[in-house]
């Protein structure tokens, strides 16, 4: 395992408290940066570090910050996306719960860089313990004067509000998050205008993921070159990889960007459970296209997985062994997307529901082979036709599971074994139809 | 959105004194935001925590504080899965039914919970002790299978562990 940077406090008891975090270096870098460096110097360092948005989009962070208009008369906001929801992903929860001061320090430096005096953290509603630890860390920072009218006595004012979501996957999409933060239904907004120009309350706004912002103090402390060297070309730093499913040691692993997927599964996560054979891997959260067992010799970074026809996304790696039924996994994928579609755009609202009905029919042994082609047509007609990328994300599992495991789907349908599966589920009480 | 609880068929109780007791907190919450309307979700959490679920009276109270219309608040309530429009159990169970949990056997465990409590998704036990919601990913996938009971996450579930957790609640 490489050096722990973001996760260095995860196993330290009570590291969410200032009394533990501060002697371990919390706020040291922010204290040196604020007032001493020019905001553009901070942005340039982050730009040179190749830090990319770790929420899933992978957009260069420094470049995003530069989109804030220089002459804005309106206030500038920094919004932290802590609405972790991508299935397979459980990394931001550790930062929020175990080391919130690392995040607050990153917020101080990042807000300073973009000229913001107010930040909001949007945390998913179900994360109650992480919220409590985070809120108490914010209260401690205020009490010490690390937040408030004059941060570290520098004269720089900074306010930070923690805002709880209320159960909606879509609010992880940044413009949906803004609407939700404004007290509305979480409907995504049309872009342009981009949030850097018209964001929260109509003001210039930068939205960054928790882990992205947690990287910032380390970059300022150790330099852009250090951070770049940790990762792979164009993909700076380490990343928190969430590994779950059929592995011996599921967990969150901090490893350099570009670590081979094979190593992640076999070297770090202990290999496939029970020594069984690998069948498939979802490399970047539910939305990422699935990889077959013979496709795992890829580098885990934005460019490596894009070249493999999928994406790094939120780095939520879900491992499936040889016993897994792909029809069942597609059933749960379409269930997820039909449940979470916000309903704003017709192709997505209708498409996700229709797709789930068809997959349910197949799963229960009542489908036909023709349904598979209908599903691919639905997926094609959802992709790229909506306000946000949710519909694309819903289309990709349908396309990749059916295309890569077509023979298995056809065999499942033709054999009629879905009827037995349905009866079993009914007997177990798991499904009521 | 999927699970939204059932609309309440009984007349809503009078929460006016409970809400009055929350006015001071509501004022502080509204002051934290740059626009009053942004406090809508937070005020709903506050009122639901005190009253158990959201009634039209609560929507009107939130609307007054957030300076929005009651119908706006109702639209918000119906959008998010965490707001309840009818009473839930004293112990509300969110049972994760997404990929990593399914890979680790959540289908059978969910069946176990349903049989044990005698309720389906969205149901409340007759004694009002438990309610069940099939939830989407709770993002504790490294600890799958997972459920949330009230505020607390419980992980690496087995049927035995579920029994111990649920039977241990008052």
The model's pLDDT over A176-197, given as tens digits with 9 standing for 90+, comes to 999 999 999 999 999 999 999 9
Residues B101 and B62 occupy one common structural domain? no
Which two structure tokens, joined as six digits, stand for A139?
A: 């209260």
Within a domain: B115: yes
Domain end call among B29, B58, B79 = B79
Question: Does residue B5 fall inside a structural domain?
Answer: no
In this prediction the ipTM stands at 0.95
Residue among A85, A245, A328 minimizing CB distance to B100 = A245
Local confidence band at B36 (pLDDT 50, 70, 90 cut-offs): very high
* Nearest Cα residue to A137 out of A28, A14, A252: A14
How many Cβ atoms sit within 10 Å of the Cβ of residue A73? 6
- Whether residue A166 and residue B41 make contact (CB cut-off 8 A), yes or no, is yes
Say what the pLDDT of residue A428 is.
77
CB atoms A181 and B38 under 8 Å:
yes
- Give the tokens for residue A328: 């069942």
CATH number at residue B32: 1.10.10.1590
What mean pLDDT is reported for chain A? 96
* A250 Cβ under 8 Å from any chain B Cβ: yes
Question: What phi and psi values does residue A17 have, to the nearest 5 degrees?
Answer: -95, 145
- Cα A92 vs. chain centroid, distance in angstroms? 8
Question: Which residues between 371 and 430 in chain A have a beta carbon less than 8 angstroms from any beta carbon of chain B?
Answer: 425, 428-430
B71 and B117 together in one domain: no
Mean pLDDT of B21-41: 98
Minimal C-alpha gap between A143 and chain B (Å): 16
Mark whether B69 and B125 lie in a shared domain. Answer: no
- Name residue A433's beta-bridge partners: none
Q: How confident is the model at residue A1 (pLDDT cuts 50, 70, 90)?
A: low
The reply to whether B116 and B136 lie within a common domain is yes
Whether residue B87 is predicted with pLDDT greater than 50 in this model: the reply is yes
- B-chain residues within 8 Å CB-CB of A320? 103
Q: Residues B162, B108: one domain?
A: yes
Q: What is the mean pLDDT of residues A360-372?
A: 97
Angle made by CA atoms A214, A230, A306, in degrees to the nearest 5: 85
What are the residues whose beta carbons fall under 8 Å from the beta carbon of B23, sequence distance 6 or more?
Answer: none
CA separation for the pair A85, B36 (Å, rounded): 27
Q: Nearest-CA distance from A107 to chain B in Å?
A: 18
> Which of B94, B103, B120 is facing A126, going by the closest CB pair?
B94
Asked if the model's pLDDT at residue B5 lies above 60, the reply is no
B45 contacts on A by Cβ (under 8 Å): 125, 164, 166
What pLDDT, on a 0 to 100 scale, did the predictor assign at position A330? 98
**Could you tell me the pLDDT band of residue A164, with boundaries at 50, 70 and 90?**
very high
- Number of other residues whose CB lies within 10 A of the CB of residue A424: 14
Dist CA B13 CA A268 (whole Å): 55
Residue B11 has pLDDT above 50, yes or no: yes
From the list A95, A91, A88, the residue with the least C-alpha distance to A244 is A88
| Residue B8, in any domain of the structure | no
B75 and B99, same structural domain? no
Q: Are A189 and A174 in contact (CB under 8 A)?
A: no
Identify whether residues B103 and B156 lie together within a single domain: yes
CB atoms within 10 A of CB A309: 12
Number of domains in chain B: 2
Q: Does any domain span residue B84?
A: no
Please say which residue of B79, B102, B121 terminates a domain: B79
Helix (H) or strand (E) holding B92: strand B91-96
In chain B, residues with a C-beta closer than 8 Å to the C-beta of A429 are 110-112, 114-115
Q: Does the pLDDT value for residue A391 go beyond 60?
A: yes
Facing residues of A282 across strands? A318
Residues of A with CB below 8 A from B1's CB?
Answer: 168, 339-340, 342-343
Which tops the pLDDT comparison, A429 or A325? A325
Least confident stretch, A32-36, A69-73, A113-117, B156-160: A69-73
Q: Is the pLDDT of residue A433 over 50?
A: no
Number of Cβ within a 10 Å radius of residue B87:
17
CATH number of the domain encompassing residue B113: 3.40.30.10
Out of B32, B108, B139, closest to residue A84 by CB: B139
pLDDT at residue A72 in the model? 85
**How many of the other CB atoms lie within 10 Å of CB of B127?**
8
Mutating which of A95, A126, A169 best tests the B interface, going by the most B Cβ atoms within 10 A? A126
Cβ proximity of A257 and A230 under 8 Å = yes
Q: How far apart are CA B72 and CA B36, in angstroms?
A: 13
Query: Does B86 fall in a domain?
Result: no
Whether B3 shows a pLDDT value over 50: the answer reads no
Answer yes or no: do B95 and B66 share one domain.
no
Q: Which residues of A touch B44 (CB under 8 A)?
A: 166
The whole-angstrom separation of Cα A108 and Cα A27 is 9
Q: Which of A240, A211, A262, A229 is nearest to A61 (CA)?
A: A211
Q: Is residue B4 part of a domain?
A: no
Full residue range of the structural domain in which residue B40 is found: 16-79
Among B59, B79, B99, the domain-final residue is B79
Question: Choosing among B3, B41, B115, B116, which should be mutated to test the A contact, i.e. which has the most A CBs within 10 A?
Answer: B41
A282 at B interface, C-beta within 8 A:
yes
Helix axes A128-143, A100-114, angle to 10 degrees: 60
In this structure, is residue B102 part of a structural domain? yes
Per-residue pLDDT for A259 more than 50?
yes
List the single residue in A161, A166, A245 with the smallest CB-CB distance to B80.
A166
Q: Which domains are seen in chain A, by residue range?
A: 18-229 (3.40.50.11540), 238-321 (3.10.20.600), 326-428 (1.20.1440.230)
Residues 86-125 of A with CB under 8 A from B: 86-90, 93, 118, 124-125
Looking at the structure, do residues B96 and B158 belong to the same domain, yes or no? yes
B29 and B74 share one domain: yes
Q: Tell me what pLDDT residue B12 has.
A: 82
Assess whether B99 and B154 both reside in one domain.
yes
* Max intra-chain CA distance, chain A: 73
Q: What percent of chain A has pLDDT over 90?
A: 94
Confidence of residue B1 (pLDDT cuts 50, 70, 90): very low
Domain match, B98 and B34 both: no
């Amino acid at each position: 395992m490489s050096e722990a940077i973001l996760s260095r406090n995860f196993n330290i008891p009570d590291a969410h408290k200032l009394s533990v975090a501060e002697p371990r270096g919390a706020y040291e870098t922010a204290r040196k940066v604020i007032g001493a460096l020019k905001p553009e110097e901070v942005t340039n360092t982050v730009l040179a570090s190749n830090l990319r948005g770790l929420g899933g989009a992978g957009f260069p962070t420094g470049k995003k910050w530069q989109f804030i208009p220089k002459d804005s008369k309106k206030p500038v906001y920094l919004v932290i996306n802590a609405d972790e929801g991508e299935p397979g992903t459980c990394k931001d929860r550790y930062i929020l719960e175990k080391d919130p001061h690392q995040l607050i320090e990153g917020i101080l430096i990042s807000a300073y860089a973009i000229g913001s005096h107010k930040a909001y953290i949007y945390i998913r509603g179900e994360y109650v313990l992480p919220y409590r630890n985070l809120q108490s860390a914010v209260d401690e920072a205020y009490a010490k004067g690390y937040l408030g009218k004059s941060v570290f006595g520098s004269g720089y004012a900074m306010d930070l509000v923690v805002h709880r979501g209320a159960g909606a996957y879509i609010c992880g999409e940044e413009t949906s998050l803004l609407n939700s933060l404004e007290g509305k239904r979480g409907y995504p907004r049309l872009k342009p205008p981009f949030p850097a120009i018209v964001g929260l309350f109509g003001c210039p706004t930068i939205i960054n993921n928790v882990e992205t912002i947690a990287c910032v103090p380390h970059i300022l402390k150790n330099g852009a070159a250090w951070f770049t060297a940790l990762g792979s070309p164009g993909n700076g730093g380490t990343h928190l990889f969430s590994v779950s499913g059929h592995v011996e040691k599921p967990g969150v692993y901090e490893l350099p960007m570009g670590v081979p997927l094979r190593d992640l599964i076999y070297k770090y996560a202990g290999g496939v459970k029970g020594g069984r054979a690998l069948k498939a891997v979802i490399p970047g959260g539910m939305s990422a296209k699935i990889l077959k067992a013979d496709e795992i010799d890829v580098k885990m970074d934005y460019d490596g997985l894009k070249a493999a026809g999928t994406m790094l996304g939120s780095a939520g790696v879900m491992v499936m062994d040889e016993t897994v039924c792909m029809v069942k996994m597609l059933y749960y994928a379409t269930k997820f997307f039909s449940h979470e579609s916000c309903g704003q755009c017709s192709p997505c609202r209708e498409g996700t529901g229709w797709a789930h009905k068809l997959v349910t029919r197949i799963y229960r042994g009542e489908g036909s082979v023709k349904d598979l082609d209908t599903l691919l047509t639905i997926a094609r007609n959802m992709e790229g036709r909506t306000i946000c990328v949710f519909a694309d994300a819903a289309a990709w599992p349908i396309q990749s599971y059916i295309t890569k495991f077509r023979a298995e789907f056809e065999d499942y349908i033709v054999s009629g074994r879905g009827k037995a599966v349905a009866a079993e589920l009914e007997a177990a009480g798991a499904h009521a139809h | 959105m999927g699970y939204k609880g059932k609309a309440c068929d009984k007349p809503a109780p009078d929460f006016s004194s409970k809400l009055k007791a929350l006015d001071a907190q509501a004022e502080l919450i509204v002051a934290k935001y740059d626009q009053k309307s942004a406090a809508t979700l937070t005020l709903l959490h506050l009122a639901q925590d005190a009253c158990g679920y959201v009634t039209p009276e609560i929507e009107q109270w939130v609307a007054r504080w957030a300076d929005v219309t009651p119908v706006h608040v109702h639209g918000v309530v119906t959008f998010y899965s965490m707001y309840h429009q009818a009473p839930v159990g004293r112990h509300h169970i969110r049972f994760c039914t997404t990929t990593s949990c399914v890979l680790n056997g959540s289908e059978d465990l969910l069946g176990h919970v349903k049989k044990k409590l005698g309720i389906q998704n969205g149901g409340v036990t007759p004694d009002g002790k438990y309610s069940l919601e099939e939830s989407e990913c709770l993002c504790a996938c490294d600890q799958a299978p997972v459920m949330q009971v009230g505020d607390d996450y419980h992980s690496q579930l087995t049927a035995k562990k579920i029994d111990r957790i649920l039977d241990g609640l008052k």
